Amino acid sequence: MPQDKLRVGIIGCGGIAQHHHVPSYLRSPGVEIVAACDVSAEAVAALAALTDTIAYTTDDYAALLREAQVDLVSVCTTNDMHYPVVMEAIAQGVDVFCEKPLALTHAQAQEMYAAAQERRIKTGVNFAHRRTPAAQLAREILASGALGQIYHVSAIYAAGAPHYAQRPGTWRNQREKAGFGGLGDMGSHMLDMVLWWLDTGVDAVAANLRTVVPERLQAGTGAPMRVTTEDEGMVLLNYANGALGYLCGSYTFTGRGYDQRAEVYGSEGGLMYDQQHPYQLQVWLPEEALEPYTILERGGSLDRPYTTILVPERLQGRLPGEPQRRRTVLMDFVEAYQRDEPFVFAPGFCEGLRVQEVLEGIARADAARCWISLPL
């Protein structure tokens, strides 16, 4: 019997599944979360308590994919499990919305992308910050060409809890589970953002990755554990459009929480994006390019040359009846999925793969202490 609702399963029921995927599905009409899987029974129970539609729970992702008759799965496990879970979903003909980064390695990501293409699986990757309103406006301005030839892009994802060195160790500190630490985890968002904004690729990278706190006490057990991922990384990038770039992804910006900043400068203008001011953008643009936008504070002086503009309502993504909440990339994915049209969605595995390739170039550049050319 044909199902009229999209049947969704969630594999990996931890933080992002509970706080981001479930609320996004619950706000998407025509969707039912029907199955959940986690190796932790506690995590399954916590997620299942968020909705009353989950009839199937398990600790075995292959069983869920075989038995729960789902159309789509969210893959929200630790990074090491993205590859095996996604490959099994593809083998079972189940569509996939996967957390970032797509995989542990470039080779895994290539296989996942190729298999999805071959089986015509619908894919999405949760580069969630594309939905930050100021990021949407930056994309619109850059796509209009108003900045002219792009010279320079710097992008920072500065994350940091208080008392960073004393934080308990988690899977994010283990290379075999996470692949990367601060640079790959946080920086992958900014890499995707810049490639999306500029509609370009990366020609070459040079990188410096660093583990600042080499040993931690493991969360839960308190046992000493060696940290095998980087706490932070700094990268120089030559973009294919000729721009020179700087990228920093880090967990070590003590007390900053989560803070993204990016600046783009071109021959005709520049823009400064700051995630902590999500509804505005600072720009220096020719007057005619400013015309469509509401000006919050006009620049022009030497100490304040940039003009602050408001993100237009059409790009704010506020949810009707819930003005404090915004649309998510996952809600966009579901909407595209439900349209009866040929399926093209970005960010999907194509975008996940291109970020993974740059990450691998970065790891090689750091290990060899030299520039690495891309494609690998």
Ligand X SMILES: NC(=O)c1ccc[n+]([C@@H]2O[C@H](COP(=O)([O-])OP(=O)(O)OC[C@H]3O[C@@H](n4cnc5c(N)ncnc54)[C@H](O)[C@@H]3O)[C@@H](O)[C@H]2O)c1
**Chain residues 99-138 in contact with ligand X, contact rule CB under 6 A:** 99-100, 126, 128
Distance CA(184)–CA(250), nearest Å, equals: 9
Q: How many residues bind ligand X (CB under 6 A)?
A: 23
Which window, 12-20, 135-143, 270-278, 337-345, contacts ligand X (CB under 6 A)? 12-20
Adjacent-strand bridge partners of 239: 202
Distance CA(93)–CA(75), nearest Å, equals: 15
Distance CA(233)–CA(236), nearest Å, equals: 10
Q: Which position's Cβ is nearest ligand X?
A: 14
Neighbours of 314 (CB within 10 A): 8
Query: What is the smallest separation between the CB atom of 164 and ligand X, expressed in angstroms?
Result: 17
Query: What is the smallest separation between the CB atom of 157 and ligand X, expressed in angstroms?
Result: 10
In the chain, the DSSP E strands lie at 6-11, 31-37, 56-58, 72-75, 95-98, 123-125, 150-160, 202-210, 215-217, 224-226, 232-239, 244-250, 257-266, 270-274, 280-284, 295-297, 307-310, 318-319, 322-326, 372-373
Distance CA(282)–CA(269), nearest Å, equals: 11
Binding mask 19-58 for ligand X (x = CB under 6 A): ------------------xxxx--x---------------
> Which listed residue (28, 57, 74, 79) binds ligand X by CB under 6 A?
79
Residue 146 Cα distances to 153, 265, 281, angstroms: 15, 11, 14
**Chain residues 179-218 in contact with ligand X, contact rule CB under 6 A:** 185
Considering the complex, state which of residue 185 and residue 366 has its C-beta at the smaller distance from ligand X: 185
Considering the complex, state which of residue 47 and residue 271 has its C-beta at the smaller distance from ligand X: 47
Considering the complex, state which of residue 2 and residue 220 has its C-beta at the smaller distance from ligand X: 220
Considering the complex, state which of residue 61 and residue 196 has its C-beta at the smaller distance from ligand X: 61
**Chain residues 146-165 in contact with ligand X, contact rule CB under 6 A:** none
The residues that touch ligand X, with contacts defined as CB under 6 A, are: 11-17, 37-40, 43, 61, 76-79, 81, 99-100, 126, 128, 185
